Structures are given as C-alpha cells and as structure tokens.
Amino acid sequence: MNGTDVDFACTQCAKCCHDLRLPLTVGEAIDWLARGGAVQLLCEAIPWFAEPPPENVGAAHKRRRSFAASSGELPVRVDVILAAAFAGPCPNLQLDKRCGIYEERPLVCRIYPAEINPSVAFDSRHKACPPEAWATGSSALLRAGRLVDARTIELVERSRQTDASEVPVKALLCRALGIDRAAISNEGFVVYELDRSVLREALRRAKERLMTRTAPVEGDREDGDWRLVSNRDASLAALAAVGAHGERAGVQPNVPFGYLPLRDSVPLP
C-alpha cells in the first residue's frame, strides 16, 4: 500500500463520537436541538479581494459554502457552521458504543473518516481510529488518493451540495439573530451560543422563509457589515490598514459569543 492507498475497517470503538464540534445541516441542527442537544454557530470570514481561478479547489470549496458580505471597506465571504457541541461522549452514544440515532445520524458521522473538504489531503494520523482500523487487506477507502466506495462518494457530494444550498438560510439566520462577528479564516472561529429554543425557532423560520420565497434567493448579495475578531496584533493592524472593522478577541462584555483559536482543533466539514 502506498501513501495514497488506504484500507479501512471500522472497529466500532466509538472514539470518533467524543469531544466534538460536529458540523450539522440545518435540518440536522433543528433535530439535534429538539432532542435537547446544544448547537453552536461557528463563524469565520475570508477576505475576498478577487474571485479565485476555478482550479483553486480550496477557494472554490470556501466560496460554495459562504455568503458575500463586507467589513467596512473590506469585502469578505462569511462561512457559518452549525455544530453540535459536546465534551465527553456524544449524547446519542449508548453504553454498548452504538449510536442511539443510527438511522438519523448526521451526514458527517456517515462520512467519517473520509474528508469532505476537497483541499484537505487525507491523513490517518489526524483521525480518531485505532491503528488496527487501517490494516492492509480490509475494505478499500482510497486508491491513488481518491475515494472508491460509491456510497461514501455520494454522501460527500450530498454534504457539499447541502452546504451550498443552505448558505441563504444561514445568511437569513444571521440577520434575524443579529450575528455580525466572525473570526478571520484560518485563525479561529467566533462561537455563538444562543438559547436553544430561540435558535431552533430562528432556524425553522429561516428555512421556511427560504422555501416559501417566490423570488430567487440571492446567495451572492452583500450581506451585512461584519466585525472581524482576532487575538493577533498583526491581524488587527492589517484589518485597520484596509479599512475593516477589527475587534480584539475577549474584550466584549456580556455577549453571547466567544473566540476559539484554531489550534484548539475543530473538525471541519
């Protein structure tokens, strides 16, 4: 087996069901909240000076899952991730290590350990799976770096398409809830923790409003003036230099959000 051929067989150890921020679709988030789980909004903004060339798959992936906005004079694209947050075992994990919502489990749980982001190279060292899960001769996961299982390929594609189709719902949600702060992409996330019932109702309304709209939804319109939060002096100085609204992490009193530096390792879709 070379570096881009990977065999995999799940040992059902359930290590991947602990200590997560688990990305959810809008529908999954509504269901997660209905079951009593906690859902956070992770917000990042990507400075967007010009459209990248189509061969830049990483930028294309970020573009697909984000909406256009601004921060002062700086054009940005804002990516909002709905994430089930839990420390320790997932609230749906049973004592026998089985998933208690197996038939309704989130898309990302069905896809793991494969990658969804096309610009992220697969690396088993970054996965929770034990060494025996990667034993040569079990099922083929990757060949020449490409997924081979038709079901996983279909799920990854569905996840990417759902992310893209739900961008307008997230833009509506941010407007409805007054969410206007994001971390600079690749530095971290601004994490909003809102009242569970408020978030659930806002998600339901945003989804419903989108489905009942008669006019086309403008996924690419400018969506608000955002404040960009950072804990780095150099980044704040760079934001000021281009006329963006920078804000130092941790100085905001009595707000429903916090700052999560990227080094804290968030599993990203």
Footprint of ligand SF4 on this chain (CB under 6 A)? 10-17, 22, 90, 92-93, 99, 101, 105-106, 109, 112-113, 128-129, 133
**The two structure tokens encoding residue 82:** 């709905």
Residue 128 CB, shortest distance to ligand SF4, in Å, is 4
Question: Which residues are registered as beta bridge partners of 181?
Answer: 227
Residue 130 CB, shortest distance to ligand SF4, in Å, is 6
Closer to ligand SF4 by Cβ: residue 18 or 213: 18
Residue 1 CB, shortest distance to ligand SF4, in Å, is 18
**Which of 22, 27, 23, 29 is closest to 199 using CA atoms?**
29
Closer to ligand SF4 by Cβ: residue 129 or 242: 129
Residue 94 CB, shortest distance to ligand SF4, in Å, is 8
Residue 126 CB, shortest distance to ligand SF4, in Å, is 12
Cα 77 from Cα 63, distance rounded (Å):
7
Amino acid at 45: A
Cα 143 from Cα 158, distance rounded (Å):
21
From the CB of residue 168, how many other CB atoms can be counted at a distance below 10 Å? Answer: 22
Closer to ligand SF4 by Cβ: residue 105 or 204: 105
Closer to ligand SF4 by Cβ: residue 25 or 92: 92
Q: Exposed, middle or buried, 17 (CB in 10 Å: 0-12/13-18/19+)?
A: buried
Residue 9 CB, shortest distance to ligand SF4, in Å, is 8
Closer to ligand SF4 by Cβ: residue 112 or 226: 112
Closer to ligand SF4 by Cβ: residue 10 or 121: 10
